[in-house]
């Protein structure tokens, strides 16, 4: 089976090269500090981390996108297309029969001329390569949800907190309910704020933990400031919930999104990007009329996605996601130290493809 997996990986990589991609490699052992923050909570919990006496904390490569973006932003051409093939490493739940080391093949596009065309290019290429497997596609757009959050009538602090938790649906829901005034604050928080108001903060023991006294004081101040903030208007919270719950074939989803944009004007630009993407996909032969769309799709995957997201799934729900990808424009700005370029890409897992072809 290993030979079949390797052959499949080489076939996919050759197809990406034929599509104009330049082969690149990435170190297996990578600096852990900034990298794990960029990947997000899920990967952080599943990374293999070690300590190097000279380089500090290091991690076995959990994915290729971040190191490829780092290399491109350092000395890449514009536009550029890359492909890669190699092992990635992720700890798995002991109850789940999933590989902790497996091959990953990917394709990344850095092109500022027409982002929606690049989205369509990547998706159509992956759909064509995976067509013999009869997989089910799923698409979404994190950018529409982010635009909706940025348009909420509330403080910048609350908007920033919601944006940080977009990729953590349960935490996002708890925050939204609290900011909309639908849940009571935790009793401990209420006691603390009452004591602060009375000028009688409870005495504490010896200072422990990683936060400094100044950080603790700043946190208490922010809690007090938040307690005085009016709730998010009920209508806006309801519209945001309608947006998050949207799941329909792409054309119907677009129609519904345009309706929502009447009351949520901040999403209008992102919605029209979605419309342009569908036109580009249709021009590449994708049956957009049957293409599933969920606004919140991808919210539990990589935290660097900030626009179009997609995945391909086998009929057997026990099989992990065979392929996934998306747009990550903001990541290029973070790693480019102020410079940025629109970027989109995706990966295929050959160890899942090979058995499906057998």
Mean pLDDT, the chain, integer: 88
CB 66 within 8 A of CB 39: yes
Give the architecture (CATH level 2) of 1-114+341-358.
2-Layer Sandwich (3.30)
Q: Where are the domains of the chain?
A: 1-114+341-358, 182-230
For residue 311, the SS3 value is: strand
At 92 the pLDDT is 76
Per-residue pLDDT reduced to its tens digit, 277-321: 999 999 999 999 999 999 989 888 778 899 999 999 999 988 999
Per-residue pLDDT reduced to its tens digit, 226-241: 667 899 999 999 999 9
Peptide bond into 209 cis (omega under 30): no
pLDDT at 52 over 90: no
Q: Which helix (H) or strand (E) holds 343?
A: strand 343-348
- Cα distance from N-terminal residue to C-terminal residue, the chain: 10
């Amino acid at each position: 089976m290993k030979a079949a997996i390797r052959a499949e990986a080489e076939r996919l990589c050759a197809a990406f090269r034929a599509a104009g991609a330049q082969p690149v490699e990435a170190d297996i052992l990578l600096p852990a500090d900034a990298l794990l923050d960029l990947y997000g909570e899920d990967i952080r919990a599943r990374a293999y981390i070690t300590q190097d006496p000279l380089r500090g904390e290091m991690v076995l490569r959990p994915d290729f996108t971040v190191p490829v973006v780092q290399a491109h932003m350092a000395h890449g051409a514009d536009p550029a297309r890359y492909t890669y093939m190699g092992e990635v490493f992720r700890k798995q739940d002991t109850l789940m029969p999933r590989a902790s080391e497996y091959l990953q093949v990917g394709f990344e596009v850095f092109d500022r001329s027409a982002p929606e065309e690049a989205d369509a290019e990547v998706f159509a290429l992956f759909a064509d390569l995976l067509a013999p497997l009869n997989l089910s596609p799923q698409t979404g757009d994190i950018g529409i949800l982010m635009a909706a959050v940025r348009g909420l009538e509330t403080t910048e602090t609350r908007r920033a907190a919601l944006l940080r938790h977009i990729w953590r649906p349960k935490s996002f829901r708890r925050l939204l309910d609290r900011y909309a005034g639908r849940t009571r604050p935790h009793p401990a928080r209420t006691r603390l704020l009452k004591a602060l108001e009375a000028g009688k903060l409870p005495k504490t023991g010896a200072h422990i933990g990683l936060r400094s006294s100044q950080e603790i004081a700043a946190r208490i101040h922010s809690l007090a400031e938040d307690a005085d903030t009016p709730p998010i208007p009920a209508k806006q919270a309801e519209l945001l919930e309608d947006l998050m719950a949207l799941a329909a074939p792409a054309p119907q989803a677009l129609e519904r999104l345009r309706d929502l944009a009447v009351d949520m004007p901040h999403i209008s630009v992102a919605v029209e990007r979605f419309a342009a993407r569908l036109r580009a996909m249709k021009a590449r032969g994708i049956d957009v009329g049957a293409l599933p769309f969920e606004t919140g799709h991808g919210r539990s995957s990589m935290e660097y996605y900030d626009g179009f997201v997609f995945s391909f799934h086998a009929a057997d729900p026990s099989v992990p996601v065979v392929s996934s990808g998306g747009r990550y424009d903001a990541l290029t700005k973070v790693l480019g130290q102020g410079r940025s370029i629109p970027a989109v890409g995706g990966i295929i897992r050959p160890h899942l493809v090979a058995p499906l072809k057998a």
